[in-house]
Chain A
Amino acid sequence: MAVCIAVIAKENYPLYIRSVPTQNELKFHYTVHTSLDVVEEKISAVGKSLGDQRELYLGLLYPTEDYKVYGYVTNSKVKFVIVVDSSNTSLRDNEIRSMFRKLHNSFTDVMCNPFHNPGDSIQSKAFDGIVSGMMVQTG
């Protein structure tokens, strides 16, 4: 289960960041922000090989001592980042993928809301609910 989930706009500013409340929130902001370096590099690398149907899931972005950071980029260049505790070895790649898919579906629902202005930060109870379901439950 994730310790931090973030949605980043095409222009690389945060649309949504949620992290487990027990830890330093700012640290997660930095972690997500620095992971964009790798995301950008991966996106630009794909652009070079022509005709290649890009996979949205970017995989493990970079390992740190404490966390694993995974990335996902939608076709409209909105990025999803999930941070998982390094000690959590039970989580498989498939589960991460399905988390991203769920997140993407919920994000699409948010975008379909005619009252939501794309580019504004996400304020949606349904999205919150989905994210909460994926976060580490802390008593």
Chain B
Amino acid sequence: MAGSQWELPPELCCRPMAFVALTGLDVVYNAVHRAIWDAFCANRRADRVPISFKVLPGDHEYPKCRTKRTSYEWYIPKGILKTGWMNKHLNLVPALVVLFYELDWDDPQWKEKQSECATKVEIVRLVKVKLCVIGEDLVASERASALCNACDLSGKSLFVLPHTDHLVGYIIRLENAFYEHAQTYYYTEIRRVKSHKEFLNKTTHQLLFVRHQFKIAFFSELKQDTQNALKYYRTAYSLVHELRAHETNMLEIKTMAGFINYKICRLCFQHNTPLDAIAQFRKHIDLCKKKIGSAELAFEHAAWMSKQFQSFGELFDEAIKLGLTAIQTQNPGFYYQQAACYSQDRKQQAQQLCQGGLSYPSPDPLDTQTGGLDFYGQRPWRQGHQSIDPPDAEKEKTGILALQIKERDVPHSELIIALLSNAVAQFKKYKCPRMKSHLMVQMGEEYYHAKDYTKALKLLDYVMCDYRTERWWALLTSILTTALRCAYLMASVKDYILYCMELLGRASTLKEEQKSKIEKNLIKVLMNEVPDAEPDCDPSSVGAARSLWTDRMALAGSNELTVEVQDYIPFIQCKSRFQSPSFHVDQPIQLQVFLRADCPHPVNFHKLAVSLSNQEYNQWCVVEAGQENMTLSPGKTKCYNFSFVAKTEDVGKKIEMTGVEVMLGSDTGRCVFLSWRGAGGDAASTHEALQASRSSRRWGRGLESRQDVDWDGLNLQPSTMIISRVPKVSVQLSHQPPALTNEMFCISLTVQSQEENVAKDVKLTAGLKPGQDANLGQSTHVTLDGSKVCDEGSPALLPDVPLGDLKPGEKLEKCVYIRCVSTGPRVFLFHVAYSISTTVEGRHIVCKCHKDETVTIETVVPFEVSVKFVSTKFEPLDRVAVEIPFLLMTDVLSSSPWPLMLSSSSLQLQTMTSNTAQLQSQLHEVVLQTGECASECFCLRCPVQTSNSSTVATGQYLISWRRSSSGADSPLVQTTVTLPHVILESVPLYIHADLPSFGRVRESLPVRYHIENRTGLVQEVEMAVEPSDAFMFSGLKQVRLRILPGSEQQMLYNYYPLMAGYQTLPQLNISLPRCSASNTNALRRFLPQRIFVKPQGRELDDASIAAA
């Protein structure tokens, strides 16, 4: 019987289809018949009409139709629905029978065939018979009607299936015709059942009301009229609840209500109205929840409820597979879960009710003569009984006892687990991770009850971590308690220890006495003894577990266990830290390990070891029993200090803690190593540290001088850097910034030792600090040699300049010269490294020390040089005439904050030549203060150019200088200034005048004009002197003359000044009629324009002349 008593019958769960029987087909030996049958039953897709076909032999015996009742007056129904009824109409009573008969219309033995066919029809005549003739379609209507007459059938009932290739096409036409006939048949059946209604009365025939409505609905389904079917099922459902319910018929009512509800929900899903289905189901549950029935068989109600939920869940799930969408809060999972819940109730009730150790009654009250029940939901020992009181109290009692004993053998846990795992699958699909975890816990607990501890532990262990990370301690504790029982009953030492440790820990919500018990058990296990049984364990299992433990304990070896506790919340907490994030290599490295026990009793451990990334240090970080007090008191923090000396080769490296290990137990018993990764901490400590840092309490912490360390406020420091020893030397730099471009900038470095020992191998690295702009490396040069200006070959950084040893207190000086070719700021590094031997904690080590100094130096230009070209009259020139002298003027403006000494300057001419005999610099040892300017003037001439380019390079201006503060032996810096290019022009005629420096009123002033022909042609020149108010003059007023190539003509005029002061000389107009294009104005440029005329002296007074 098992759970199957509650299974819904398959004929209820299937989709009813019209039943059509085919006879006269020999599908085994006749290939044609076989093909016909295959065409009917193979590939029945959704587009074919819903008919279930069956091949029956011609002489098949169909169920006999009982004589129809003509009156219900004295009829008392015995139950609601007969168990065979649905099956009868699905599989036994066909809607029509089709007789296949092979016949040729022109058969020679037509008569015989006809009568044989008629006989066959007569044999099967019970329901509607259709004759289907297989044969050649030679239309012979009179023969067909004759055949119909012979068989006593209407013409509509004769079908002809010709032998052709289009079998499937004909078959589809045939079955459509059959379907119509079947529809008619079921329609008449419905009419027939409906006609009973008028004979019924409400007092005695209540059951029949339900039965008839159900039948109508079922026939409607067979007719594929699902809308009406739903309507009739709904009526049947409300009628079933109108029945007078009492203890004896409760099961029958619930069973039928369940069936009808199933049909309604199924049709609702089919009609794609899932909300109607859910509403119906809710109504159904609300109506039936309280209909428990017999108290002694309460488990039956739970089983029935469970089944209701399960089958609804299955319907729901099936609908989803066909395209329905479910949501998180409304999915089949909830129904499976509830089904599981009722199954759990069933189990509980079964355990309460079925305790009697009585033997199974004999004769079996559950036996019936037929082997089954006549009506759904009735008791086998009083079938058909419909009155309120049971007919036989004794029979009733044995019947109930038999059911109870049967219930005892039901594998409840299996049923529950199957339902739960269905629910888990659903909740996983609908994004309910917590619901899933909850159900998995329930599954685990159920496995525990079913004594499958391995599976139970597997499930519990899987979900434990979810509850731990979400910090639901009450739930975690409950799961751990179950897990601990499993581990105990399996005698799984490692699991047992692990769960004990977490149950003792701070996340556990167990009471002190429970914890105390667990701790005692844990200590027992560590001593290799059998622990006490967990409370609430099944006594029979405890016995088995005890022997398992004894075996386990007797087993030699394997008494060492390592437990990774990082991801748990163990009862010993560990936090460790380096005292400082960095240690100098000459300091001992200090490390602290804090341990704290949360268990109710003090706990001893035997060893504490810290492992570090460099394993050579591990030996210093171990403490064993005997060396120190290794007892942890509950709630007290204990600190263990370690210190060791780092190796000098580890300078610049990081030391990390890779793990902390605490050994519980001893070698004599069982050793358990609690191992933390890194510097300790567990699954809960991150959150605790965060809370502690937020807490307002920490502000007051400094005030109360508590002995105990504040545990939550302890921070992990899992790594430390080993850094080099602090140098005890002073490095001082003296210099005069800013640096001037190109100069040898001197930085004087003073190193003074304050060491107690000799600093050996002092080395200096000086120069541009690496990591700056790459171009700076090209434009910066560093040297130690200050006697000459260094060249491009000098590096930007001088590495490892040996300075020898430095005794204590000794001082060392060194000058470093830096030449910066470009302006801008630069960072210079002075790195003094040395090694020194020292002693740390009795160990002799040689440390390398270094001291860095950096300085930022700005480089500026020392002076600005400006150059201009002027004529001999000091008029600015924009172009220079060939072979005519002009002046080059230079100005050197000092922009240096320090005084500059300009040693000398020189001019390197390229195309120009000096107009004077010697080009001598006017600058010699000139000191310029800031903002002062040194000017020079050179008279130059541009020779005739061979090339005809209009611009020519002038040359370079060289200045040698140094800071005036630097010594005489310091090198001179040579700064080269490239002079600008000039634009050349050639003049055909050059004219210049000789005249005295001044004139005197009414005294003759002789002026001689020289006119030179600079061309290779004879030049005709016209000259005219314009009259002037200030002068009278004598000489040729207007003249035309010729000048041979390269020769010169002189013209002498005597001017006679009439007015004193600056006077404009009479204008000399020169024109070249031959080459009118040439510019005479340009010529005028060479001539003096004005002259100063002194007033006439009364007497010759030397003094006055000199004053002028």
List residues of chain A with CB under 8 Å of any chain B CB.
Answer: 11-14, 17, 25-26, 29-30, 33-34, 36-38, 41, 61-65, 114-115, 117-120
Contact = CB atoms under 8 A, between A and B. Distances in A.
B745 to A, nearest CB: 61
Contact of A65 (B341, B433, B470): B341
A117 B432 contact: no
30 contacts: A11-B687, A13-B471, A13-B472, A14-B472, A25-B474, A26-B474, A29-B474, A30-B438, A30-B441, A30-B475, A33-B434, A33-B438, A33-B472, A33-B475, A34-B434, A34-B435, A36-B434, A37-B431, A37-B434, A37-B435, A38-B329, A38-B432, A41-B431, A62-B329, A63-B329, A64-B334, A65-B341, A114-B696, A117-B695, A119-B691
Given A12-B470, A26-B475, A63-B329, 20 more contacts: A11-B470, A11-B471, A14-B472, A17-B474, A25-B474, A26-B474, A30-B438, A30-B441, A33-B434, A33-B470, A37-B328, A38-B329, A38-B432, A41-B431, A62-B329, A117-B691, A117-B694, A117-B695, A118-B694, A120-B691
Contacts of A25: 474
A34 B694 contact: no
A130 to B, nearest CB: 22
Interface in B689-713: 690-691, 694-697
Label chain B's interface by main secondary structure. Answer: helix
B492 interface: no
B338 interface: yes
B431 A119 contact: no
Query: Which of B285, B334, B435 has the most chain A CB within a 10 Å cutoff?
Result: B435
A33 B478 CA distance: 14
Interface in B458-472: 470-472
Nearest to B697: A117
B329 A61 contact: yes
B688 to A, nearest CB: 10
Contacts of B478: 26
Contacts of A117: 691, 694-697
A32 to B, nearest CB: 9
B134 to A, nearest CB: 61
A114 B470 CA distance: 26
Interface string B429-473: 001111100100100000000000000000000000000001110
A37 B334 CA distance: 14
Interface of B: 285, 328-329, 334, 338, 341, 431-435, 438, 441, 470-472, 474-475, 478, 687, 690-691, 694-697
B416 to A, nearest CB: 16
Contacts of B471: 11-14
Contacts of B438: 30, 33-34
Contacts of B690: 119
A7 B338 CA distance: 26
A3 B1021 CA distance: 131
A30 B690 CA distance: 26
Contacts of A17: 474
A13 B472 CA distance: 6
B694 A119 contact: yes
Contacts of B475: 26, 29-30, 33
Most buried by A among B432, B441, B471, B478: B432
B594 to A, nearest CB: 22
Contacts of B687: 11
A11 B435 CA distance: 17
A12 B437 CA distance: 15
Give the top 6 A-B pairs by smallest Cβ distance, nearest first: A13-B471, A37-B432, A34-B435, A117-B695, A62-B329, A34-B434
B335 to A, nearest CB: 10
Contacts of B441: 30
Contacts of B285: 65
A29 B341 CA distance: 17
Contacts of A64: 334, 338
Given A38-B329, A117-B691, A29 B472 contact: yes
A38 B328 contact: yes
Contacts of B435: 34, 37
A117 B687 CA distance: 13
Contacts of A14: 471-472, 474
A26 B472 CA distance: 11
Contacts of A115: 696
Contacts of B697: 117
Contacts of B334: 62, 64
A62 B474 CA distance: 23
Contacts of B695: 117, 120
Contacts of A26: 474-475, 478
B230 to A, nearest CB: 25
Contact of B328 (A12, A29, A41, A118): A41
A118 B687 CA distance: 12
Contacts of A62: 329, 334
A34 B432 contact: yes
Nearest to A12: B470
Contacts of A11: 470-471, 687
B480 to A, nearest CB: 13
Contacts of B341: 65
Contacts of B433: 37
A37 B337 CA distance: 16
A24 B438 CA distance: 15
Nearest to A31: B438
Contact of A13 (B432, B470, B694): B470
Contacts of B691: 117, 119-120
A71 B238 CA distance: 36
A71 to B, nearest CB: 11
A12 B696 CA distance: 23
A75 to B, nearest CB: 19
Contact of B338 (A30, A34, A41, A65): A65
Which of B328, B338, B441 has most A Cβ within 10 Å? B328
A20 B70 CA distance: 63
B304 to A, nearest CB: 15
A64 B470 CA distance: 23
B39 to A, nearest CB: 51
Nearest to B435: A34
Nearest to B341: A65
B639 to A, nearest CB: 26
A34 B338 CA distance: 15
Nearest to B695: A117
B427 to A, nearest CB: 8
A25 B473 CA distance: 13
A65 B341 CA distance: 10
A76 to B, nearest CB: 14
B35 to A, nearest CB: 56
A13 B285 CA distance: 35
B635 to A, nearest CB: 19
A33 B472 CA distance: 8
A29 B696 CA distance: 30
Nearest to B289: A65
Contacts of A114: 696
A11 B684 CA distance: 13
A62 B341 CA distance: 17
A67 B433 CA distance: 20
Contacts of B694: 117-119
Contacts of A38: 328-329, 432
Contacts of B328: 37-38, 41
A34 B423 CA distance: 14
Nearest to A120: B691
B933 to A, nearest CB: 71
B682 to A, nearest CB: 16
Contacts of B338: 64-65
Contacts of A30: 438, 441, 475
Nearest to A39: B434
A6 to B, nearest CB: 11
Nearest to A65: B338
A34 B470 CA distance: 12
